Each structure stands twice: as structure tokens, then as C-alpha cells.
Structure 1
Amino acid sequence: MVTAPWIIAGSIFLAVAGISILMLVWMWRMITLYQPVISNTPLFTHSKERYSSRDYQRLRRFGLIVLASAGLLFALIAENVVNGGALTIVDQEIAQWLHAHSTTMLTQCLLVITQLHDPWVLSPVAGLITVYYIWKKRWYAALSVLLVVQGAMLLNLLAKHSFQRARPTFDDPLITLATYSFPSGHVVASTVFYGTLAALLISQKPRHHRAIYILPIAFVMVILVAFSRMYLGVHYLSDLLAAFLEAMIWLVLCLTPLWFKRLK
């Protein structure tokens, strides 16, 4: 029999999935509609002919819908976490089930994934990418990586210290961490890193239909990182859902003014 906490948790999960799809559609439309007039010109190079006022207004409204939806759902999840709502019951049950069904091989594989996507690993990688784009004089690309990736990590650090949620505890933990749990730093970092990287890679391709496989690959990588954190017992489900939403909010806030800057 499905209990009320699971119904609530399932509804929140589906809502996050829906917002994630909206975010992918928004990025797809933003990238494909604003391809440069000259096919080999990078997306982040200004072109007076590139922008259609109607398209600009539509995508800006679409971005506002994603932003508002993600913000409201993040607030709902945070309220559940702070007040010990129904979602936290599901958090505990999922954490205990995953821990009870862990295997040595899967643990080793997911340890590699989670270590490669540590914010302390992605941050210097993003720094090197920023330096590369500065060297190429692609200023908007460099600013995007710097602002989106590094800014998101700082934002998440502030959020963790604001909520101060303890991590899951087990008698025989796979990993022990002393830092706070909500929202997941790994998920925030990987979401903004792969999201920005996907946008940059697509923008360099003359045939923008390659976004069809670049965006899903980026999304799958983020899902793997998120699952690794929950499986290893260092995050609850709500930590991951909130991190997705936090990262999407930050992406929309940063990429909208950067990508839609218009010349007078």
C-alpha cells in the first residue's frame, strides 16, 4: 500500500523531472535559435543580426517560468527538510534500503564517479577552461564558465551553512563526511559544469542538431553523480532534488543576461 509520504515524495520527484525537461527545452531553444549568422562564428561573439525581438521575448518568458517553478519547488523541499515533513520520511527509507543493498563492485564504480565530480576537482577544471577561452579571446564563454560554475559552488556553500542539515548516519557507513548535507554540492557542481560545457560545445558546432545527443549525455552524467551520492550514503533524496533546482535557478539567472545581451 502506498503511503502518503511516498505520494508526496513521488509528486515532488515528478515535478523536478518536469522542470528539468523544461530546462533542457529552454537551453535547446536558446542555443538553436541564436546560432550565429556566420556558421563558424562562436555563439558568444556579438552579431547585430542574430537576435529576433520576438524570439528574445519568448525565451525570456520561458526562462522566467523555469525560474519561478524551480524556486517554488525548492522552497517546498526546504520547508519539508526544516520542519521534518513527509519527504524526510521517504529520505530515510530510501537511504536505509540503498545501504542494505550495496555491493562491493557497484560501490567501487560509484566511488570513482563521485570522486571525479568533487567540487574541488571540477572547480580547477572549470578554471582551466576559463583560461582557455580567455586565451582564445572568447570573453563571453570565459565569463560564463567563471560566473556559472564558480558562482554556483559559492552559492551552494552558503546554502549548506544556512540549512545545516546533518548527513545520513549508518552503523557501517561507506563514506563518512563531517560537512552539511543540504543541498548536494556534487550535484550542483556537476549540473552547472555539464550544463555550461554542453552549451559551449553546441555553440561551436555549425550543425546545432548535435544538441540532440550532447544535452542528454550531460543530463545522464548529472544523474549518475546524483545517484552515486545517494547510494554512498552521504546525501538524502531531497538533498539531490534541491541541488538540481538550485543549479537550474543559477543557470537561468546567469545564462539569460549573458546569452541574450543585445547591441543597441
Structure 2
Amino acid sequence: MKLRCEVAVLAAVLLMIASAAQAGDAAARRIIGFSPDGNYFAFEQYGTLDAGASDSGWSEIDIIDTRTDEFVGGKPIRIIDETEDSTLTVEQARAQAAAQAAPLLARYAIAPRGERTAVDKFTFPDDMVAYNDIARLEQVSQKWLSPSYDELGISTIQLDQILAESATDCSSSFDGTQQSSTAGKAFGFRLTLQGQDGKPFKLLHEDKAVPGSRNCPSSYSLSESYAFAPDGKSAVLAVLVQRFSQGFEGRDRRFIAVTGQVP
């Protein structure tokens, strides 16, 4: 009961801060949707850079092939200016990213379809949480979700944090007792789908190597999941994973979408 009360109080505080925040480096997200055949999923994440004198806005639109779980074109569409004298606003960055993404979204007819099947409401995915509160957000975020979508037959989406190869020196992201045994490693994650019997039936994702673009993660957790069942085809699942890492003035929060078909 005590833990539940503490979490509730923290959630209320974060909600007030999140709704008032004009700066910080915790991304918010917008779900764009699936293509009619379920082969593509897209979402946007955006925020204000935590980068010293610059409060530059940025936006990233990820268009993902759900059959391969790879970016269309090999990378996301990203509008960002990291110079300290940048005057790019969040609204300007989002408008530029939307303009670049529009032809691909139209080509694949990606639109709002499918439904959200699970969410950890304490992740505040709609908000740019102030950076000095991200560490507390990181602590209460959970590593499992229970989807409420019977057609998938999933009881739990389970995230496990693992060590994986890294070309980037991530020793600073480990505590002192770990640093000597983690050379060439970084925190990655594994996503497993468990059936109604509680047994794993699909490995949705497992990091073999952690890309430098993740900026030496300190932890991962689950935010929400979305599902879409095209006519005559297997359902498609998109899981949004939170990635936390150390930024310029505090923790950063970004989203990673993991997608796949569910038999």
C-alpha cells in the first residue's frame, strides 16, 4: 500500500511538471499509425534539446517495415540543430519533419489504424517531462505490459535488460563494480511475448550489438503497445520502449519502436 501511494504521488507531481514543461530532453511521442496491410508502422518523437545554451527543438519520424523491424530507407527522418545558437523551435522542427515524411506516409497509406493494447501511464508519453524529473520517471517505469487484445493471445510483453557488444566506450554508464567486467559492452534489451499459459512463445527482439546512437543507455523500460490486424493476415504488434541515457544536464528519454508479426 505504501509503495502504491508513493507511486501515485510521484505520478501526480510528474503530471503537473510535464504539462507545464517548456524545456528538457525527454521526448514526447505521436503515433502516426499502420499501413493497410500492416507492413509499415510510423510514429514521431520530438522535444527540446538539453544542450547547454541551446533550447533547440527537434523532431524524428520513424517509418518501420514491420516484416524486418528496420527503418524504411535505413534511417529515421530527423530534423535537429545542435549548435548553441540554434533558434529552431519544436513547432518548426515538427513541420519540417512532417513535410519530409509526407511522401513516404502517402506511398504506404500510413494512417491512424489499429489500437493501443497496453500502456504504463506513468511514462507520460504525451509529454516532454523536464529533465530534472527524468531520473525519477526512469525509476518507476516498468519492464512488462499486459495487452488487452484477445486476438493476439499475449498475456505479457516482457523486457529484460542485457549486456551486448558496443563499439562505443560505455563504461561511464555502469557502476564502479561493473566497469572492469564490461569492456566493449553496453546495456541492450530483449523483448519476449508470453502466452496465456505464462510461457514465452515469441522472441520479438534481442540486441546483439548496441548502436552508438543510443548514447550508452542507463536503462530501458516499456511505455505502450499497439496492434493492428489486417484482413486475412497475421496481426502486427508495435511496442514502444523507453531508452534512458545521460544527457548534457541530466537524463534523456527517447523511444524505440519494436515491431513484428504475431502468429
Q: Does TM-score exceed 0.5, indicating one fold?
A: no
Q: Of Structure 1 and Structure 2, which has the larger fraction of its residues in strand?
A: 2
Which structure has the larger Rg over C-alpha atoms? 1
Q: TM-score, normalised by structure 1?
A: 0.30
Q: TM-score, normalised by structure 2?
A: 0.30
Q: Of Structure 1 and Structure 2, which has the larger fraction of its residues in helix?
A: 1
